[in-house]
Amino acid sequence: MFYKVSSEDEYLYQGKRKRLVEQLKEKGIKDLPVLNAISKVPRHLFFDNTTSRPALLDHAYSDKALPIGAGQTISHPYTVAFQSEQLQVIAGEKILEVGTGCGYQTAVLIELGAKVFSIERQKTLFDKTKLFLPHIGYHAARLFYGDGYKGLPNHAPFDKIIVTAGAPYIPNDLLAQLKIGGIMLIPIGAGEVQEMTWLKRTSESGFDKKILGNFKFVPLLQNKAT
């Protein structure tokens, strides 16, 4: 079902990942733990395996969004690096990710030492990623099939929340599940382009907010899908 992880893959792709890390540095990513995490996660194994392997492998380490099945995409490495950097992850923190997709961002957060809880609304993607992440060594992710608008009230509060799909507004349930002092990164906008929004919860009802530029995500959709 999945590509085999082999020492040959490692050898071949380590160099490609190094070059990707250099590109990310040139684009402004500075956080060493984030760059180190990206240099470890084998991005070429995360793609939809119905697409031609050579074509995908050519592109796996270019800074592109690519298909992962069920009409969804893996985020650009720059976007993953940017959101991860802005989250300021500290090892041991509990992080809620909305939009598991193929699990690439999940793996980067695990490499950063986070305890990741991730939600996906597409059953096929959820099933696939639940098998895939442990297959390549990421056993620690807690993956949930559900609607990310609602978060995971049974596991709240979270130190950090990262939303990896474009939301028309900030869901109240997610705000409620953020710890005081916690940070949320969420792309906001109903159209093709979203504003990356950084929020810090300062008190029970207080939030600081910054807009960190424009990004393009697939939409955050309501309810679960099969």
> By C-beta, is 74 or 199 nearer to ligand SAH?
74
Listed ranges 30-38, 50-58, 146-154, 176-184: which one lies at the site for ligand SAH (CB under 6 A): 146-154
CB of 226 vs ligand SAH, minimal distance in Å: 12
What is the rounded distance in angstroms from the CA atom of residue 119 to the CA atom of residue 113?
19
Nearest C-alpha neighbor of 185 from the set 96, 115, 110, 102: 96
Residue 178, amino acid: L
Q: Which two tokens stand for residue 223?
A: 């309810």
Q: Which stretch binds ligand SAH (CB under 6 A): 1-9, 18-26, 117-125, 203-211?
A: 117-125
Between β-strands 178-188 and 158-163, what pairing exists: parallel, antiparallel or unpaired? parallel
| 118 catalytic per annotation | no
The CB-of-206 to ligand SAH minimum distance in angstroms stands at 26
Residue (of 128, 129, 138, 188) closest to 163 by Cα position = 188
- Residue 221 interacts with ligand SAH (CB under 6 A)? yes
Part of the chain binding ligand SAH (CB under 6 A), chosen from 6-14, 33-41, 152-160, 215-223: 215-223
Token reading at 8: 């040959």
Instruction: Please give the order of strands across the beta sheet that includes 142-145.
Output: 142-145, 115-120, 94-98, 158-163, 178-188, 194-201, 207-215
Tell whether residue 102 is a contact of ligand SAH (CB under 6 A): yes
Question: Is residue 85 a contact point for ligand SAH (CB under 6 A)?
Answer: no
Among 42, 99, 151, 187, binds ligand SAH (CB under 6 A): 99
**Annotated catalytic residue, options 75, 84, 203, 205:** 75
Q: Supply the minimum distance, in Å, between the C-beta of residue 47 and ligand SAH.
A: 10
Reported residue count of the chain is: 226
- Give the catalytic positions in this structure: 75
